[in-house]
């Protein structure tokens, strides 16, 4: 193909680049609506359960006396509550260091039946690194929740 | 005393930046000729002063001066020396001082060595550099003073986050910062050229080594950071799409696009406005990254402190610099005359295509990173992770890999597809074979495409060398070949990691054995061990590859006292065909130990590829600089001869 004769090569390039970028933006918007994982507290999760298998995050307090280890030694189950509702959680893996009963946790995973199956647990790491959802939660709800779980 | 000196020197440097800006602006006017000689020495002096201030802060950390607030909050007298030094930038204020230091040193370096750029454009560039530095001086001095004293010296320091007490801290942040801030030079060049309306091949040739230098540091910094996260976080992953990782990826994508468009401008005098635009965008992405990280609006291990005032300050800086540069661009872009044209099948067109693809990926990453902030404004909390980033960025990355294989073989200006098609038959067959084999092995779609395109590109990347005398091939060509090969190698490593990794989680009693892929792993024993400022439980694991000799691995779970914290220390065994990764968890109630094992075939290719990409950049940089030096020497000789003849 010979060089374009029109004076407008710059314009053509600009249009192509813009089209590609707008395409990228639309694609991103569409993919985000499908793939973003929403944050739930137990009462939301019970009231409006997300569709089965969809990736979501669950945040709440680990109820006292609820952590149990399965016979395989690596799968644990526990119950997460926010003072209004509770959700059973199953997790296979090494737990974060500050994952203890009566403390906050954010679990990444999905609903399978009525159980939340977690792929990953985020606990308070140290004073300077708190999962964002948990920080809000501890301010707003921690006292009530902790009082209730005692 | 040292703290006060450091602060005084920092204020003086800021004052010199004001002088540099004013003198640079005045020197551009005909009546300001007297100022022309001032700008360069001031830029150099400013760099020296900031370096002194930074040295003062390092001294305070080494001596653990607990009357200084920053030291008391972030250091501890019992820390090993290397972490005392590295701890200087393991906090908000110190890292911002490092940022300003690198920015001013980069400006000083330009003032010292840049000889090719038109004098007026250079003056405008240095003025722009001073203008950008000033914002960060203001940020540092007004809201993040690293030298502030405590009313009462603290009895002992609070210590450094255990996650940061790693040798990676000594190298990873400074390397990345040189990359981030090095892009400020590209930004200032672009602004300078817009001011003097002097955008052309000479400008591009002057700008190219600076872009190349920053890009090399970014490449190596991202690669090293990925490996650091891989072995310290103990999650077995090498890229998490964490906002901070994205913050380093976005400037890299923009800088990669800039690097290629600046080459088109230098060789063919095309893509003028586009190159200037990318120069503005690349550093803007660095600043957006800083905003995301330092403002604390996103949660991450990299976020030091949540302080809304600092966030607003950086946001204001962003608005001024990015907005200002874009406004200047909008006003001046029309006057940047159109460059040379080219056909749809030509090397320029391939480079433009990949520029657009890189910008597409940049857009995808930017949107995904900012989306949680946006929805949170409406009270909806979401997080965006690999299910979004991986497939959506692949849509742009895969066509880019294809065009990368073809582009370097095309001629400038105009070419025929039929000419290069036979040359590309071999890499195409390799790609088909690799893809077919992967599909037959039941690999999912994305990793299959990654393996196929990576293998094809690895072969195709060598083709520009065919028919050349390898000894006489210019270094920049070698650089391109090595970089492109590196990207192909990294793509194969990524695809292989995602397709073939085997993960096993087990609770083992001492003496028990578990098979993980080709490895038989035996937990021999668990012992307590102690380090300089930590204690740990250490597992001793014997690993036999396919029944061979046993290797001993010792993963640890470390407990730090100052500040209290824990860190898992994974153990790695690297073979030519992959890596074994072992993490020690907790003791289960029945006395067994939780252990996590991964066998990751060919995963080291990811970082090897990243280093090759950086090495290619380094070769190209040496080639370019050597040529420039030769040229300068030749010019000097001619001038010298003329002078003698004149006598």
Question: What is the per-residue DSSP string for B526-559?
Answer: EEEEE-SSEEEEEEEEEEEETT-PEEEE--EEEE
Report how far residue B325's alpha carbon sits from residue B330's, in angstroms, rounded to the nearest whole number. 9
Better pLDDT: A67 or B432: B432
Select from B368, B396, B594 the Cβ nearest to the Cβ of A32. Answer: B368
Structure tokens at B394: 């692949």
Report how far residue B399's alpha carbon sits from residue B406's, in angstroms, rounded to the nearest whole number. 11
Using CB atoms and an 8 Å cut-off, which of residues 336-355 of chain B contact chain A? 338, 341-345, 352
Banded model confidence at residue A97, pLDDT cuts 50, 70, 90? low
Report how far residue B493's alpha carbon sits from residue B227's, in angstroms, rounded to the nearest whole number. 13
Report how far residue A136's alpha carbon sits from residue B7's, in angstroms, rounded to the nearest whole number. 37
Which residues from B are below 8 Å from A97, CB to CB? 565-566
**What residue ranges do the domains of chain B occupy?**
1-165, 167-421, 502-601
Report how far residue B556's alpha carbon sits from residue B566's, in angstroms, rounded to the nearest whole number. 10
DSSP string, B37-77: HHHHHHHHHHHHHHHHHHHHHHHHHHTT-TTBHHHHHH--T
| Residues lower than pLDDT 70 in chain B | 163, 294-308, 336-337, 646-647
Which residues from B are below 8 Å from A36, CB to CB? 371-372, 375, 382-384, 388
Whether residue B563 is preceded by a cis peptide bond, meaning omega within 30 degrees of 0, is yes
Residue B287 · residue B322 · CB < 8 Å: yes
Global confidence as pTM:
0.89
Nearest to B414 by CA among B461, B473, B349, B501: B349
pLDDT at A148 over 60: no
Residue A40 is assigned to a ligand binding site:
no
Q: Scanning every residue of chain A, which has its alpha carbon at the shortest distance from the alpha carbon of B396?
A: A24
Residue B144 · residue B310 · CB < 8 Å: yes
Write out the E strands in B464-510.
502-508
Q: Please answer yes or no on whether A74 and B301 come within 8 Å at the CB atom.
A: no
Q: Among B271, B341, B342, which would you mutate to test the A interface (most chain A Cβ atoms within 10 Å of its Cβ)?
A: B341
pLDDT (0 to 100) of residue B138 = 92
Q: Please answer yes or no on whether B368 and A28 come within 8 Å at the CB atom.
A: yes
Q: Please answer yes or no on whether A37 and B589 come within 8 Å at the CB atom.
A: no
Mean pLDDT of chain A: 75
Banded model confidence at residue A142, pLDDT cuts 50, 70, 90? very low
pLDDT (0 to 100) of residue A131 = 53
Q: Please answer yes or no on whether B414 and A3 come within 8 Å at the CB atom.
A: yes
What interface predicted TM-score (ipTM) does this complex get? 0.77
Q: Does residue A140 come out as left (phi exceeding 0), alpha (psi in the -120 to 50 range) or beta? A: alpha
Q: Please answer yes or no on whether A37 and B585 come within 8 Å at the CB atom.
A: no
Residue A129 is assigned to a ligand binding site:
yes
Which residues from B are below 8 Å from A15, CB to CB? none
Phi and psi at B551, nearest 5°, equal -100, 145
Select from A20, A38, A125 the Cβ nearest to the Cβ of B360. Answer: A20
Structure tokens at B579: 């890596």
Say how many residues make up chain A. 150
Using CB atoms and an 8 Å cut-off, which of residues 349-388 of chain B contact chain A? 352, 356-357, 359-361, 363-364, 367-368, 371-372, 375, 380-385, 387-388
Report how far residue B55's alpha carbon sits from residue B501's, in angstroms, rounded to the nearest whole number. 45
Give how far the C-alpha of residue B513 lies from the chain's centroid of Cα atoms, to the nearest Å. 41
């Amino acid at each position: 193909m010979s060089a374009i004769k029109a004076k407008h090569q710059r314009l053509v390039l600009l249009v192509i680049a813009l089209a590609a970028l707008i395409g990228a933006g639309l694609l991103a918007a569409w993919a985000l609506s499908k793939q973003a994982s929403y944050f739930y507290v137990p009462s939301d999760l019970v009231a409006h359960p997300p569709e089965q298998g969809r990736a979501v995050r669950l945040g709440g307090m680990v109820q006292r006396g609820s952590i149990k280890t399965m016979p395989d030694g690596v799968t644990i189950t526990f119950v997460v509550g926010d003072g209004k509702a509770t959700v059973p959680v199953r997790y296979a893996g090494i737990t974060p260091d500050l994952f203890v009963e009566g403390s906050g946790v954010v679990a990444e995973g999905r609903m399978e039946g009525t159980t939340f199956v977690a792929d990953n647990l985020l606990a308070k790491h140290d004073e300077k690194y708190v999962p964002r959802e948990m920080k809000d939660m501890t301010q707003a709800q921690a006292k009530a929740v902790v009082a209730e779980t005692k | 005393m040292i703290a006060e000196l450091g602060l005084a020197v920092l204020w003086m440097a800021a004052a010199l930046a004001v002088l540099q800006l004013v003198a640079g602006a005045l020197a551009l006017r005909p009546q300001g000729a007297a100022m022309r000689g001032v700008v360069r020495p001031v830029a150099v002096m400013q760099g020296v002063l900031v370096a002194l201030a930074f040295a003062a802060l390092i001294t305070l950390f080494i001596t653990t001066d607990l009357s200084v607030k920053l030291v008391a909050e972030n250091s501890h007298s019992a820390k090993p020396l290397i972490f005392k030094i590295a701890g200087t930038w393991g906090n908000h204020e110190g890292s911002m001082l490092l940022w300003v230091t690198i920015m001013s040193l980069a400006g000083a370096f330009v003032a010292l060595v840049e000889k090719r750029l038109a004098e007026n454009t250079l003056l405008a560039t240095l003025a722009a550099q001073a203008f950008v530095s000033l914002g960060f001086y203001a940020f540092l001095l007004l809201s993040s003073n690293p030298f502030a004293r405590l009313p009462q010296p603290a009895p002992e320091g609070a210590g450094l986050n255990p996650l940061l007490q790693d040798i990676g801290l000594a190298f990873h942040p400074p390397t990345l910062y040189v990359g981030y801030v090095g892009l400020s030079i590209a930004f200032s060049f672009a602004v300078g050229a817009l001011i003097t309306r002097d955008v052309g091949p000479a400008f591009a040739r002057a700008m190219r080594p600076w872009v190349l230098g920053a890009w090399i540091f970014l490449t190596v910094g991202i690669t090293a950071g990925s490996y650091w996260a891989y072995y310290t976080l103990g999650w077995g992953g090498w890229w998490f799409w964490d906002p901070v990782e994205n913050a380093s990826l976005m400037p890299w994508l923009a800088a990669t696009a800039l690097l290629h468009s600046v080459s088109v401008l230098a060789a063919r005098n095309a893509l003028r406005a586009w190159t200037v635009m990318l120069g503005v965008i690349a550093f803007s992405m660095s600043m957006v990254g800083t905003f995301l990280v330092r403002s604390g609006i996103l949660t991450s291990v990299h976020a030091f402190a949540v302080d809304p005032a600092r966030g607003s300050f950086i946001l204001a800086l962003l608005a001024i610099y990015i907005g200002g540069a874009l406004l200047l661009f909008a006003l001046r872009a029309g006057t940047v005359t159109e460059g040379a044209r080219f056909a749809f099948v030509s090397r320029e067109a391939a480079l433009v295509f990949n520029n657009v693809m890189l910008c597409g990926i940049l857009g995808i990453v930017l949107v995904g990173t900012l989306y949680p902030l946006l929805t949170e404004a409406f009270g909806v909390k979401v997080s965006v992770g690999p299910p979004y980033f991986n497939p959506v960025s692949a849509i742009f990355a895969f066509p880019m890999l294809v065009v990368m294989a073809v582009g370097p073989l095309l001629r400038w200006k105009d070419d025929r597809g039929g000419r290069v098609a036979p040359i590309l038959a071999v890499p195409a067959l390799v790609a088909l074979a690799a893809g077919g084999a992967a599909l037959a092995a039941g690999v999912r779609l994305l990793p299959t495409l990654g393996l196929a395109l990576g293998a094809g590109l690895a072969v195709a990347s060598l083709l520009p060398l065919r028919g050349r005398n390898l000894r006489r091939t210019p270094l920049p060509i070698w650089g391109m070949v090595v970089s492109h090969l590196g990207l192909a190698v990294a793509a194969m490593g990524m695809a292989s990691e995602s397709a073939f990794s085997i993960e096993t989680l087990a609770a083992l009693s001492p003496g028990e054995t578990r098979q993980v892929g080709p490895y038989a792993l035996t937990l021999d024993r668990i012992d307590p061990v102690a380090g300089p400022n930590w204690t740990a439980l250490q597992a001793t694991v014997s690993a036999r590859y396919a029944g061979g000799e046993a290797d001993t691995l010792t993963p640890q779970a470390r407990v730090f006292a100052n500040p209290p914290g824990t860190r898992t220390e994974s153990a790695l065994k690297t073979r030519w065909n992959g890596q074994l990764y072992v993490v020690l968890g907790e003791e289960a109630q029945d006395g067994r130990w939780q252990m996590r094992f991964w066998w990751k075939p060919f995963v080291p290719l990811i970082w090897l590829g990243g280093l090759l990409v950086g090495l290619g950049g380094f070769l190209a940089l040496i080639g370019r600089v050597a040529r420039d030096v030769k040229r300068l020497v030749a010019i000097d000789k001619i001038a010298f001869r003329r002078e003698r003849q004149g006598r």
